[in-house]
Chains A and B, each alone.
Chain A
């Protein structure tokens, strides 16, 4: 069996465990098995690029993302900002990364109920099991912390001396305790008020948020270097006491800068006292409570929910408007429910849809944003043709449509064969429309409304042309990838068709931009153009989407 460096290091401390009455040999075996299982688990950050057949630790490969965040933190540390401000920023980033990762990826470790069935019926005492669990979490927090904080530690120690290193070390220790407390407190509260399904939903949202922040955050990495050149004058205000990063940044001001201002003393005290209190509360209150409530995880609230009722009525209405065929209508609603319910699918769709929504805005503000006031920038954007950057969204969104083929539970697709459905076309039409309504059009509306507000109603026709282009190119890509039925493929199958789709949308968007630019100065040409696009879409959907059962896998 595979051995791990972390375990070998742990071996050096085996005597300490034995002393506390832990069966070290068994604990090591449990940890080894868990680490092997973790190698085969795909973490949230890596979902977009992964190899599933390799037996290597995904955490190690996803560490690159953490190191990148760590490098950004490092840039802040070596910047010329005042020490307290930059340490607050840096620690804020590190804390954010670790907390969200804890929630997103280690929820499975924290909330493992399978553990109980497998381990507790064996002759292992609970002390050993609990220690194994704690060490397991600790190993990961340690690795992630090192990856994110490592660059800052090195750079900061070079710049500020060994005292920086010592303080950083203690601060990290205290903040890790604080994070574990916060995460488990959050879980306990959710479990107290809601049920397991709600908790899974919330974990899902945190996962989505983490991915979005990372993807969009990378777009701003370049900007960080500019911002760090400015000097922010900082005067502590009362609300600073509510920001955990400032508690942990204050000791640096205290000991490195030798600035013994009252604020910094109080903040540092908070940074020490709160983690200690939270550690006591954690071991005395939360852990026992948690163990008791963990079984609730598989519970489920029952009864109708008002919100779902309203949502359902809304889906009915939209379905009635958009789908004339009865079967199509049924599959429209089916698809909507599927894409709204399936957490793993959402985890793949939301980050990409949000990136597509904000991408044009990122591009614009990156090119216009240098040393100008906000109103200057707005004025300049309004005069330029920068709204053409929405084609970037079209490119990204049209590729998203392939996701509709996939599902975590793709095995359920046997129902398509068993049900009396004459032609698969209504399935595809309903699914496409649902996906368009649910994700693609909302994501498109974000940048186009921003540009409409900035540039005024004169670009309305351009927005219409772009929307029609988006629908047409999505339809083409959807048609090309329509050999598989909706929700009938594993997530891993998507890669090969992805490149094809990307090429098609690249070519399409390139040609559309050229045509759009060319027709723009000609009077009424865009009106005619959108008319042609509408006809093309209708023709495509009436003639082009005739799919027979034998064409479907």
Chain B
């Protein structure tokens, strides 16, 4: 590939406490524009930590990270203009209304108030929640809040998107819209970092899959490459095999026998 990578991570290490084992144990990734990357791994593998480091939320890491060709430990503000983020837990200043929240974010990204206002309202309309544009976010249902987070991450038309379980709570129709939006964005040359536990979705939308286990990248490639590598059928099975988990049947049996001992 002759294009420049948008994200270059080399030997990324990170530990929350000094004497404890590192959470990230040397990660090397290069990401190119136009890729949708499925970023998967078991709970506690270090997925969210990596994303938080890339976003600049955590900064006591070791190793080097370049985004748009610049080291983010040196220039830690400019690159954020072109990054969007949907966090997994919808922690948000929800006493504000959607309008207040979205225009605030847009203005920080350097847009004019009127411009964000029109844009935000239009996007809310497309997601069928324009009725709630003027109401407090705290009154939203889970799906509505998720739609708002998605809009908030895209309002400034970023080049890189970090999505952490972005579909949770969305209805089937909205899921279809959003998946289509993602593939269109990727076709435009935007990079999407898609982290999820729902393997079917990751399998379908990702151009490339990164499997993280215990702080290390254990698999990296297209879905077909992964399948050849592990000789398993679905991404779920590949996931189980690569993370060394094969006793799900035994656990399920025990679960059932705990519920009804005489069964």
Contact = CB atoms under 8 A, between A and B. Distances in A.
Given A414-B91, A417-B56, A418-B80, A300 B135 contact: yes
A330 B83 CA distance: 20
B1 interface: no
Contact of A304 (B55, B85, B134): B134
A168 interface: no
B80 A420 contact: yes
A197 B96 contact: no
Contacts of A414: 57, 87, 91
Contacts of B79: 420
A299 B255 CA distance: 40
B64 interface: no
9 contacts: A334-B104, A338-B95, A342-B95, A409-B95, A412-B93, A415-B93, A418-B55, A420-B79, A422-B77
Contacts, number: 85
Contacts of B110: 420
Nearest to A423: B77
Contact of A418 (B56, B95, B104): B56
B95 A411 contact: no
A415 B55 contact: no
Contact of B132 (A196, A298, A300): A300
Nearest to A343: B95
Given A197-B139, A327-B108, A302 B91 contact: no
B78 interface: yes
Contact of A407 (B56, B77, B93, B109): B93
B8 interface: no
B203 interface: no
A466 B228 CA distance: 78
Interface string B64-90: 000000000000111111010101010
A343 B95 CA distance: 8
A549 interface: yes
Given A414-B87, A419-B109, A549-B76, 13 more contacts: A302-B133, A302-B134, A308-B134, A337-B100, A409-B94, A409-B95, A414-B91, A418-B56, A418-B57, A418-B80, A420-B81, A421-B77, A421-B108
Contacts of B131: 302
Nearest to A330: B107
Contacts of B104: 330, 333-334, 337
A307 to B, nearest CB: 12
B96 A300 contact: no
Contact of A420 (B78, B132, B135): B78
B53 to A, nearest CB: 11
Given A327-B108, A419-B109, A420-B109, A341 B78 contact: no
B92 interface: yes
A487 interface: yes
Contact of B91 (A333, A411, A419, A422): A411
Contacts of A288: none
Nearest to B141: A298
Size category, B interface:
20 to 34
Interface in B25-75: 55-57
Contact of B136 (A327, A341, A487): A341
A412 B108 contact: no
A301 interface: yes
A303 B87 contact: no
Interface in A289-305: 298-305
Interface string B224-244: 000000000000000000000
B56 to A, nearest CB: 5
Nearest to B113: A316
A408 interface: yes
Nearest to A308: B134
Interface in B102-140: 104-105, 107-110, 131-136, 139
Contact of A408 (B80, B95, B133): B95
Contacts of A305: 134
Contacts of A302: 131-135
Contacts of B100: 334, 337, 341
Interface in B163-184: none
Contact of A411 (B77, B81, B89, B107): B89
B139 A300 contact: yes
> Most chain-A Cβ atoms within 10 A of its Cβ — which of B81, B94, B132?
B94
B79 to A, nearest CB: 8
Interface in A228-264: none
A417 B55 contact: yes
Contacts of B85: 418
Interface in A483-501: 487
B245 to A, nearest CB: 31
B70 to A, nearest CB: 13
A420 to B, nearest CB: 4
Contacts of A334: 100, 104
B228 to A, nearest CB: 38
Contacts of A304: 134
A420 B91 contact: no
Nearest to A302: B131
A318 to B, nearest CB: 15
A408 B138 CA distance: 12
Contacts of B96: 337-338, 341
Contact of B93 (A298, A409, A418, A420): A409
8 closest cross-chain pairs (CB), A and B: A411-B91, A420-B80, A412-B93, A300-B135, A300-B139, A341-B95, A420-B81, A417-B57
A308 B97 CA distance: 11
Contacts of B78: 420
A338 B93 contact: yes
Contacts of B134: 302-305, 308
> Most chain-A Cβ atoms within 10 A of its Cβ — which of B91, B95, B133?
B95
B95 to A, nearest CB: 4
Contacts of A418: 55-57, 80, 83, 85
A108 B85 CA distance: 35
A418 B80 CA distance: 6
A409 B105 CA distance: 17
Contacts of B132: 300, 302
A76 B136 CA distance: 46
Contacts of B55: 417-418
Given A409-B91, A417-B55, A419-B108, A196 B76 contact: no
B95 A419 contact: no
A305 B134 CA distance: 9
Contacts of A549: 76
A429 to B, nearest CB: 15
A407 B80 CA distance: 25
A491 to B, nearest CB: 14
B92 A409 contact: yes
A409 to B, nearest CB: 5
B137 to A, nearest CB: 9
Interface in A374-417: 407-409, 411-412, 414-415, 417
Contacts of A412: 91-94
A538 B104 CA distance: 27
B77 A420 contact: yes
A306 to B, nearest CB: 12
Contacts of A330: 104, 107-108
Contacts of B97: 341
A337 B101 CA distance: 10
